[in-house]
Amino acid sequence: MSITLKDTPEIMRLAQEGEQLADLMKLQPEVILIRWVNYHLAKAGQSKRIENLGKDLADSTALFYVLNSLDSSKCPLDGINDDDLQSRAQKMITNSQALGVPDIVRAQDICSGNVRVCTLFVAQIFNTKHGLEDLT
């Protein structure tokens, strides 16, 4: 998995108090992606936070909010309350494709909380559009 950090100085938006860029660069990519998802959940006014890139993403809710935070016109929240988790996941995946994220994941992968596939998918969303504000 690859996250393009070198070309993303805005990654400092994910730093915790007292952390410097060097500290962020030492973190595992998964930790940065979890922080990134939680950053967008907070930006969307959600109290929900994730702790992993598997089961915490299985209901698609967090990713729905992240995608909506990145581009609400291309990624509406339509379907976020679907009772059928496969249907919900498919609508979230369709939103990601509207952003330009490659078609690399199936609804079943999301619903099962497949860590490897979900991690790759979240990295692809990040690399497509990270949505972090410029540093001033």
Is 1 part of a structural domain of the chain? no
**Assessment of whether the complete model's pTM goes beyond 0.85:** yes
Task: Give the whole-angstrom CA distance, residue 39 versus residue 108.
Answer: 26
Question: Which of 15, 33, 34 lies closest to 24 in space, CA to CA?
Answer: 15
Residues 42-82 pLDDT 10s: 999 999 999 999 999 999 999 999 999 999 999 999 999 99
Q: Provide the pLDDT for residue 4.
A: 55
Q: Provide the pLDDT for residue 55.
A: 97
Question: Which of 36, 45, 46, 43 lies closest to 16 in space, CA to CA?
Answer: 36
Query: 90 lies in which domain range?
Result: 9-128
Residue 89, CA distances (Å) to 42, 100, 101, 118 in order: 21, 17, 15, 12
Q: Per-residue pLDDT for 2 more than 70? A: no
Is 77 part of a structural domain of the chain? yes
Is 133 part of a structural domain of the chain? no
* Total number of domains constituting the chain: 1
Is 101 part of a structural domain of the chain? yes
pLDDT classification of 7: cutoffs 50, 70, 90: low
Tell me the CATH number at 115.
Answer: 1.10.418.10
